[in-house]
Amino acid sequence: MRLKTLLALLLALTASAVLYAQQSLKTFSPSGYIQLETVLNNTGELQYRLLFKNKEAVGLSSLGLRLSTPAIELNRFSVVNIDSTSKDETWETVWGEDHRIRNNYREIAYLLQNKSSTPVKLRIVFRVFNDGVGFRYEFPQQDALHHFVVADELTGFAMTGDHKTFWIPGDYDTNEYAYYTSPLSKIDASGGGSAQEIHAKTFFDKNAVQTPLMMKSADGLYLNIHEAALLNYPAMNLVLDKATLKFHTQLVPDAVGNKAYLQTPAKTPWRTVLVSDKAPDILSSRTILNLNDPSVIGDSSWIHPQKYVGIWWEMHVGKSSWDYSGSQVGSQQATRVPHGANTANVKRYIDFAARHGFDGVLVEGWNTGWEDWFGQWKEDVFDFVTPYPDFNVQELSDYAKSKKVKIIMHHETSGSVTNYERWMDTAYRFMKRYNYDAVKTGYVGRIIPRGEHHDGQWMVRHFERVARKTAGYKIMVNMHESVRLTGLHRTFPNWIASEAARGNEFNAWSSGNPPEHETILPFTRLMGGPMDYTPGIFKIKMSYYDSTKKEQVHTTLTKQLALYVTMYSPLQMAADLPENYEANLPAFQFIKDVAADWEETRILDAEPGDYIITARKARGKDSWFIGAITDESARQFTTSLHFLDAGKTYIATIYRDADNADWKSNPEAYVVEKFVVTAKMALKLKLAPGGGTAISLLPATAAETKGIKKYK
Ligand code: NOJ
Ligand code: CA
């Protein structure tokens, strides 16, 4: 007993912010494994360093900002005051990977005064969590500084070795790149800007990459750099100095080259570094969410996770068109295909959704403007309230209601955000009139106001405005071509998903997403929040639709099923055509059964770029689901079911690759097997090249398990 008390005392002492040397402070995470060192050097520069279990994870790195109006460098300081505090609380999510999240950190905050002729006060706040650190700049209200323009942020991230890095080129407009894997020293983004079939890209430096950036050091540390709570500020890109392996920050500029226009009191987003010696810890981290503010939505009962189908993939595979005239968007081709969003076809999807228990039916191409769309950089293209003549809004609204299904609205802005902002209220009122409660927005093409970028402050403010305004109308929103996510779904839980990365759609009409893609995305893009990846494609090869086509989905069929568990989103599409599901009901059953909202999540095993095995428990239920995916290599795993309720018996339905399956040569071959299992068992998983296994684990009574074999 006494020893325990003594130990606790010792721990408390070493773990708090201890004055180490005159100029250097150490702040330990509650667990003691993570150590942040903040150092004020002789010239007044404040720098930080991060250690994990005494190993250096981030070397001594710079902090500060450069303002242009007034012109001041904020990087030489005298310390006014240092505060430290800590927090340990648990909060409930509206929806999410976990029902309850623990927010446990130690904080140290420096109040600094700039050493220039115009002394300005700046706070730098650090929070040290058990899996990493977050820090941000805060500008208190003060006489010396009211309005100001940020010219550059001087935050650095010094890497301590030539880490294996999963990166996409830095870009001001798009994150829809396929990932590159290379040592830091071999990053070369110059080729990355070409041949990736992306409509609007603004590549700016061959040494620039985007966050979330995932790295692995030679001695087995997993590192992830990103940001949290990106509001009223541009997104951060990282530019590597290859000689020193230090990253510096490159904020996305506006049309005249400025980065951010702020007024005191103001604060930047949090810069985050996550670190662990276990890859699953990165995926399990909730630090980015914890650094975001609680929900601003009081009554969130109208927000509901859901699965949906839609008039969507049929356009992407070229079977129908968005455009009423039947021409394919973006092509001058003479061959016409039917207009997809016609009343009869929408009813067919509504029937399908109702029959199989889906909540939503997305309909794209319902409104006028598509004939005028694509690459024009034209201001007025869509009005968001005028349907094509063959889309009967009232009739479909009534029909959907009678079938207890909701149509999901689609607003393609064509990048003309000025136009969209003029229409927003009218468009949301139109939605309410016809009983829509969710909208998918899109920002394909270059932004208007011309010269603005998708990831600049102007657009970041627009995305926030959309989140707030839709919330005011009790509308859920899913944003495509938005800025990368930074955990803002905690604050705006009606912002239920975004695309903001290379989605499954690329497999329909481009070189596509290589088999490793989905083993990287959870470590990168999804660190910031849910992605509308649109999994569930059963017809893998596009030659099925047109024998001249070479494109294909780069996975097996059962990997598409596993993605419902791997790729977290409260909004999950069953993206393939109804007829492809009807022809494959045994596999479709998994999509019908899988949950979209979770009580808890366990990352059972993972290695970025190679494989991920995820288990999740359905929220408010006793059922569990497992998704296991691999890259282009076949892999085998033994997966323990220890997380199941010890007292219960479950029926495991295993959807696996057939023995001869292969993403390239035989992608649609699968086997469905049922077994009786308990928490004491372990399952042997065999994943084909580019393959995956999906498993549902539903608690069962003795009567229900009759005739089903025990797993051996
Ligand atoms: C790109 C989006 O990602 C896709 O889902 C949508 O169908 C098209 N834009 C058209 O808006
Ligand atoms: Ca897109």
**Domain range spanning residue 668?**
534-712
Which uninterrupted H or E stretch holds 316?
helix 313-316
Q: Is 412's C-beta closer than 6 angstroms to any atom of ligand 1?
A: yes
Residue 657 lies in a domain: yes
Of 248, 264, 290, the position where a domain reaches its end is 290
Q: Is 517's C-beta closer than 6 angstroms to any atom of ligand 1?
A: no
The 10s digit of each residue's pLDDT in 153-192 is 999 999 999 999 999 999 999 999 999 999 999 999 986 6
Q: Is 314's C-beta closer than 6 angstroms to any atom of ligand 1?
A: no
Distance of CA 526 to the CA centre of its chain: 3
Q: How far is the CA of 38 from the centre of ligand 2 (A)?
A: 41
Q: How far is the CA of 42 from the centre of ligand 1 (A)?
A: 54
The residue among 688, 704, 684 whose CA lies nearest residue 611 is 688
Distance set, CA 688 to CA 299, 539, 613 (Å): 46, 17, 14
Q: How far is the CA of 121 from the centre of ligand 2 (A)?
A: 42
Q: How far is the CA of 556 from the centre of ligand 2 (A)?
A: 22
Distance CA 463, CA 475 (A): 14
Question: Which of 505, 533, 534, 571 best tests ligand 1's pocket when mutated (most atoms within 8 Å of CB)?
Answer: 505
Q: Is 125's C-beta closer than 6 angstroms to any atom of ligand 1?
A: no
Q: Is 364's C-beta closer than 6 angstroms to any atom of ligand 1?
A: yes
Residue 232 lies in a domain: yes
> Which of ligand 1's atoms lies nearest the C-alpha of 534?
5
Residue 102 lies in a domain: yes
Task: Give percent above pLDDT 70 in the chain.
Answer: 95
Q: How far is the CA of 546 from the centre of ligand 2 (A)?
A: 23
Which uninterrupted H or E stretch holds 103?
strand 100-114
Tokens 């609680």 map to which residue?
A: 294
Domain holding 594: CATH number?
3.20.20.70
Residue 672 lies in a domain: yes
Find the distance separating the first CA and the last CA of the chain, reported in whole Å. Answer: 45
Instruction: Give the lowest-confidence range in 5-14, 120-129, 267-276, 347-356.
Output: 5-14
For the chain, the domain total comes to 2
pLDDT for residue 46 is more than 50: yes
pLDDT for residue 21 is more than 60: no
Average the pLDDT over 107-119 and give the result. 94
143 CB contacts (<8 Å, ≥6 apart)?
Answer: none
pLDDT for residue 196 is more than 80: no
**Which pTM does this prediction carry?**
0.96
Average pLDDT, the chain: 95
> Which of ligand 1's atoms lies nearest the C-alpha of 503?
3
Banded pLDDT at 10 (limits 50, 70, 90): very low
Q: Is 505's C-beta closer than 6 angstroms to any atom of ligand 1?
A: yes
Q: Is 323's C-beta closer than 6 angstroms to any atom of ligand 1?
A: no
Spell 36-74 as b/e; 16+ CB within 10 A means b: bbbbbeeeebbbbbbbbeeebbbbbbbbbbebeeeebeb
Question: Which of 174, 197, 412, 534 best tests ligand 1's pocket when mutated (most atoms within 8 Å of CB)?
Answer: 412
User: So what's the pLDDT on residue 385?
Assistant: 98
Which numbered ligand comes closest to the C-alpha of 173? 2
Distance CA 390, CA 677 (A): 52
User: So what's the pLDDT on residue 415?
Assistant: 97
**412 is an active site residue:** no
Of 249, 271, 290, the position where a domain reaches its end is 290
User: So what's the pLDDT on residue 12?
Assistant: 37
Residue 620 lies in a domain: yes
DSSP 662: B
The 10s digit of each residue's pLDDT in 588-602 is 999 999 999 999 999
Residue 214 lies in a domain: yes
Q: Is 442's C-beta closer than 6 angstroms to any atom of ligand 1?
A: yes
Instruction: Give the lowest-confidence range in 256-265, 327-336, 433-442.
Output: 327-336
Q: How far is the CA of 444 from the centre of ligand 2 (A)?
A: 7
CB atoms within 10 A of CB 704: 13
Q: Is 499's C-beta closer than 6 angstroms to any atom of ligand 1?
A: yes
User: So what's the pLDDT on residue 334?
Assistant: 63
Average the pLDDT over 39-56 and give the result. 97
Catalytic residue, candidates 227, 505, 518, 599? 505
Banded pLDDT at 116 (limits 50, 70, 90): confident
User: So what's the pLDDT on residue 8?
Assistant: 36
Task: HSE, CB side, 13 Å, CA atoms: give it for residue 113.
Answer: 9
The 10s digit of each residue's pLDDT in 616-632 is 999 999 999 999 999 99
Domain holding 107: CATH number?
2.70.98.10
Tokens at residue 225, please? 């750099």
Residue 655 lies in a domain: yes
The residue among 48, 250, 248 whose CA lies nearest residue 134 is 48
Of 290, 309, 340, the position where a domain reaches its end is 290
Question: Which of 371, 439, 444 best tests ligand 1's pocket when mutated (most atoms within 8 Å of CB)?
Answer: 444
Residue 612 lies in a domain: yes
